[in-house]
Amino acid sequence: MLIPQELAAFMASPVMIILGTRDDALVPEIARAVGAVVHREEGSVDLMVSEWQWPQTMANIRANGQLAVTFARPSDYVSYQVKGHATIVPTTAEHTDLARRYMESMASTLGELGLEQRIVAPWLVDRDLVALRLSVQEIFVQTPGAKAGQLIERQS
């Protein structure tokens, strides 16, 4: 499914990225990603995740691939959630570079909101970086308010 231009730009901007997966017993797990590369035409998003920090999430993706990702702008809580199936793809130099740039711009964005570098450091980790490719099947508005949870698009 084609990812709308506006959403693609939002996902690639300095927004917090959180991941939800589950194991085979349907026990959910949380992780953070450090950057996203959007392939609009293919309807997919590559997400950079530290396997060192979030091993259970990687195990869940390898086992069943079910993934939900929320992108949230820290200044105003504007948020979108995308869901679909993910696989692990080879990590390229582009991925590693992007993660580095994302961590820098995210740290400075959060810095402007009054959060010091030492506080945000534990959330921005790229040790043992892995790239997940999410094939987007559903897009939801997640911004707090009456429209939260509203479906924008679903692959038919």
Partner 1 sequence: MTIRLRDLAACFEGVIPSIIATAAPDGTPNISYLSHVVLVDDERVALSNQFFSKTATNVRANPAAAVLIVDPRDGGQYRLDVTFEQTLDSGGLFEEMAIQLRATSTQVGMGAVMRLRGVDIYRVRAVQAVLAPQPGQEVSSRDVGSQLMAAATVARSVSEAADVGSIVDAVLDGLHQAFSFSHAMLLLKDPAGERLVTVGSRGYDRSGIGSEVLVGEGVIGTAAAERRPVRVSDMSRVRRFSSAVHASSDEENRTRTIALPGMPDAMSQVALPMVAHGALRGVLFVESSERLAFTKGDEAALAVVAMQAAAALALAEAEIGEGPSSGSIAVDQPVMTGRSFRVVHYAYDDSIFIDNEYLIKGVPGRLLMHLLRIHQREGRTEFTNREIRLSEELRLPDIKDNLETRLLLLRRRLEEKAAPVQLARTGRGRIRLELAGLALLEEAAGRTEG
Among residues 81, 129, 133, 136, which is the contact residue for partner 1, using CB under 8 A? 81
Q: Which is nearer to partner 1, 131 or 134 (CB)?
A: 134
Q: Which of residues 125-144 bind partner 1 (CB under 8 A)?
A: 125, 127, 140, 142, 144
Amino acid at 61: I
Answer whether 83's CB lies under 8 Å from 67's CB. yes
Contact between 12 and partner 1 (CB under 8 A)?
no
- Segments of the chain assigned E as strands: 16-22, 28-33, 36-39, 44-50, 66-72, 79-89, 129-141, 151-154
Binding pattern for the stretch 23-62 against partner 1, x by CB under 8 A and - elsewhere: --xxxxxx---------------------xxx--------
Contact between 156 and partner 1 (CB under 8 A)?
no
Rg of the chain over Cα atoms, rounded to whole angstroms, equals 15
